[in-house]
Amino acid sequence: MIYSNPLFWLIVAFGIFIVFVILKYTKSFNTALNTGIQDIQDDIEQATQLLEDAKKLLAKRRHELEISEKETLDIQANIKEEIKSLKSNFQEKLNHLSKQLEKQAHEKILKTEHDAFNMIKNTSIEIAIHTAMQLLEEKYKDGSIKPKDYISSELKKMPLIS
């Protein structure tokens, strides 16, 4: 008979042992898995929030850049209108001086474009520095690094761009 076979009893004992082990360690295994899952969900939520904040900040900076570009175009348009007016007045008065004034106007446009480019560049740099400081302040709220000191030291290391 099967009940008198030692292999049968070995299989039954092994099965009871497996059931006991599963019942004993299932709770701790589930707890460990749930803790890991919660940690991953918290990390995902934090990353999502950071992504949303970064998108909002990027949209704000793009809007500021668009405004700066529109102002630059308005400045250029105003300067071109001023040049046309000056040219018209001087042509009526003195034809001889018209070529000289046109040359001066062209130089003024180039200088204004150069100044506008420098203004946009400087504004962009200020925006980038301000954004970096905001991000560093958020990242190092504990005070381990002061963003202003960190940025100043890093800027001193960079070569000057003209």
Per-residue pLDDT of 96-147, as tens digits, reads: 667 777 888 889 999 999 999 999 988 988 888 788 777 777 777 776 667 6
Query: Which single residue is written with the structure tokens 């106007």?
Result: 105
pLDDT band at 64 (very low <50, low <70, confident <90, very high): very high
pLDDT of residue 160: 62
Instruction: Return d(Cα 17, Cα 29) in angstroms, integer.
Output: 18
Instruction: Return d(Cα 104, Cα 116) in angstroms, integer.
Output: 18
Instruction: Return d(Cα 109, Cα 103) in angstroms, integer.
Output: 10
Q: Would you mind telling me the total number of residues written for the chain in this entry?
A: 162
